C-alpha cells in the first residue's frame, strides 16, 4: 500500500550533497553546507544543514557526506536523513570521482562541482556514465585556501573555529557561479574567508553536458531484506578479504615500488595496518582493492623504494 512518489513532492526544495574525506576534510564539507544554508536563510529561504550520520564516526580518508536543503517552502522531509535525490553535488577532493558512486540519485539537470586542477575531460573520464548530470564545474580550490582540520564541531557541537576559512569558501563560490542558489553577497557575509570565496567564483570553470538520463534504482523489498539477513546478524568470518568493506576508494595516493631500490626487508609489510602488502621474491605487492593510501609504507621504507603517486594519474 505505498503511495505514489508525487504525493510527497517538494517542488521548491533543492538538495545539496557534499562529499569529502573523513577527518582531514570533513570540516570543510560541513562548512560548505552550513555556509550555503546560512546564506540562503538570509534570503528568507527554509534551510537545513547536517552531516550524514551513517558516515560517522568518520575515519581518516573515508568518503563522508554532508548535506544541505534549501527550500522556498517549509521543509517537510526534515528527518529523511540522507539526500536521496540531490540537485547539486560537491566533491571537496578530486579522487572521489574514482570508485565512489557520487552521482547516485542525482536529479535531472544536476550540477557537479569538483575541487581539482585537472581538466573537465579528465574528470569526466573517471565518472563513466554521467546520467542526469548537466553541469560540471571544476575549480582548483586547494590553491586558493587550505583545508582546516579540527575535531571541533563534530557530533553536532559548535565549531569553535568558525565557518568557511578553508577550501569550503572557494568551493561554495563555485557553486554560486554555476547555480546562483544564493547571492554572492550573502555568501560573503557568512564565510570567514570571503576573498577565497570570490576567487573560487571567478576561477570556476563551467562545462555544460548533454543529460543522458539515469535508470531508476529498484528498492529491495521488505521481505527480501528479511530473507537476506542471517540469523541474529551473525555472518561467517572472511577467509582472505572482507568484501563487505572495500576501502580502495579511500585512497588519494597510490604506493608505487621502485624494484631496483627495494631490498626486500619486509619493513613496509610488517607495518601495514590494512594487511594490504604481500611479500614476494620481487619485493612487496600492494592490494589496491583495499589500500587506503595512508602512506605508512613509503614513510617506513629504509631505502626510499616506495613513492606515493596521485591516484588520478592511474586509469585502473
CB neighbour list of residue 162: distance below 8 Å, 6 or more residues apart? 192
Between 7 and 239, name the residue whose CB sits nearer to other proteins: 239
Question: Using CB under 8 A, which of 9, 80, 189, 235 touches other proteins?
Answer: 235
3-state DSSP assignment of residue 300: helix
Shortest distance, position 55 Cβ to other proteins, whole Å? 10
CB neighbour list of residue 256: distance below 8 Å, 6 or more residues apart? 306, 307, 308, 309
d(CA 223, CA 232): 16
Question: Using CB under 8 A, which of 270, 309, 313, 314 touches other proteins?
Answer: 270
Binding of residue 50 to other proteins (CB under 8 A):
no
Using CB under 8 A as the binding criterion, the count of chain residues that bind other proteins stands at 62
Question: Residue written as cell 631500490?
Answer: 261
Binding of residue 303 to other proteins (CB under 8 A):
no
Give the binding range for other proteins (CB under 8 A) out of 40-48, 84-92, 93-101, 149-157.
Answer: 149-157
Would you state the cell numbers that stand for residue 210, as one nine-digit string?
Answer: 548533454
Binding of residue 232 to other proteins (CB under 8 A):
yes
Shortest distance, position 86 Cβ to other proteins, whole Å? 19
Between 139 and 272, name the residue whose CB sits nearer to other proteins: 272
Binding of residue 304 to other proteins (CB under 8 A):
no
CA atoms within 13 A on the CB side of 119: 3
Binding of residue 244 to other proteins (CB under 8 A):
yes
Using alpha carbons, select from 131, 122, 138 the residue that is nearest to residue 207: 138
Shortest distance, position 114 Cβ to other proteins, whole Å? 21
Instruction: Pick out residues in 198-227 that bind other proteins (CB under 8 A).
Output: 222, 225-226
Give the binding range for other proteins (CB under 8 A) out of 72-80, 183-191, 199-207, 228-236.
Answer: 228-236
CA torsion angle 6 7 8 9 (round to 10): 40
Contacts of 294-298 with C-beta under 8 Å, sequence gap 24+, read: 294/60, 294/61, 295/253, 295/255, 296/268, 296/271, 296/272, 297/255, 297/268, 297/271, 297/272, 298/255
CB neighbour list of residue 37: distance below 8 Å, 6 or more residues apart? 47, 48, 49, 68, 69, 70
d(CA 238, CA 19): 30
Shortest distance, position 42 Cβ to other proteins, whole Å? 30
Binding of residue 120 to other proteins (CB under 8 A):
no
Binding of residue 265 to other proteins (CB under 8 A):
yes
Using alpha carbons, select from 271, 270, 273 the residue that is nearest to residue 250: 273
Between 119 and 242, name the residue whose CB sits nearer to other proteins: 242
Shortest distance, position 195 Cβ to other proteins, whole Å? 25
* DSSP state letter for 305: -
Question: Using CB under 8 A, which of 151, 189, 261, 309 touches other proteins?
Answer: 151
Task: List residues near other proteins by CB under 8 A.
Answer: 22-23, 54, 56-57, 59-62, 149, 151-152, 154-155, 157, 160, 222, 225-226, 228-229, 231-247, 250, 265-267, 269-276, 279, 287, 289-290, 292-296, 298-300
Amino acid at each position: 500500500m505505498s503511495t505514489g512518489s508525487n504525493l510527497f513532492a517538494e517542488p521548491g526544495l533543492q538538495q545539496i550533497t557534499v562529499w569529502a574525506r573523513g577527518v582531514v576534510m570533513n570540516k570543510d564539507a560541513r562548512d560548505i553546507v552550513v555556509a550555503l544554508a546560512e546564506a540562503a536563510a538570509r534570503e528568507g529561504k527554509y534551510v537545513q544543514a547536517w552531516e550524514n550520520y551513517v558516515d560517522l564516526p568518520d575515519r581518516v580518508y573515508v568518503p563522508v557526506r554532508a548535506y544541505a536543503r534549501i527550500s522556498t517552502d517549509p521543509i517537510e522531509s526534515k528527518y529523511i536523513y540522507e539526500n536521496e535525490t540531490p540537485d547539486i553535488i560537491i566533491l571537496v577532493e578530486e579522487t572521489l570521482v574514482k570508485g565512489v558512486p557520487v552521482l547516485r540519485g542525482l536529479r535531472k539537470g544536476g550540477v557537479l562541482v569538483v575541487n581539482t586542477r585537472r581538466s573537465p575531460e579528465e574528470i569526466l573520464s573517471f565518472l563513466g556514465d554521467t546520467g542526469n548530470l548537466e553541469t560540471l564545474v571544476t575549480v582548483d580550490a586547494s590553491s586558493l585556501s587550505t583545508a582546516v582540520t579540527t575535531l571541533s564541531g563534530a557530533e553536532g557541537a559548535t565549531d569553535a573555529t568558525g565557518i568557511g576559512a578553508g577550501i569550503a569558501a572557494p568551493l561554495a563560490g563555485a557553486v554560486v557561479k554555476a547555480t546562483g542558489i544564493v547571492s554572492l553577497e550573502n555568501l560573503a557575509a557568512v564565510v570567514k574567508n570571503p576573498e577565497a570565496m570570490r576567487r573560487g567564483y571567478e576561477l570556476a570553470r563551467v562545462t555544460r553536458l548533454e543529460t543522458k538520463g539515469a535508470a531508476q534504482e529498484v528498492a529491495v523489498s521488505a521481505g527480501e531484506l528479511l530473507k537476506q539477513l542471517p540469523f541474529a546478524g551473525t555472518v561467517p568470518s572472511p577467509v582472505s578479504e572482507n568484501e563487505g568493506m572495500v576501502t580502495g576508494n579511500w585512497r588519494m595516493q597510490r604506493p608505487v615500488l621502485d624494484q631496483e631500490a627495494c631490498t626486500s626487508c619486509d619493513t613496509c609489510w610488517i607495518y601495514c595496518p590494512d594487511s594490504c602488502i604481500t611479500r614476494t621474491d620481487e619485493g612487496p605487492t600492494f592490494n589496491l582493492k583495499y589500500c587506503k593510501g595512508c602512506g605508512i609504507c613509503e614513510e617506513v621504507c629504509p631505502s626510499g623504494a616506495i613513492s606515493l603517486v596521485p591516484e588520478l594519474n592511474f586509469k585502473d
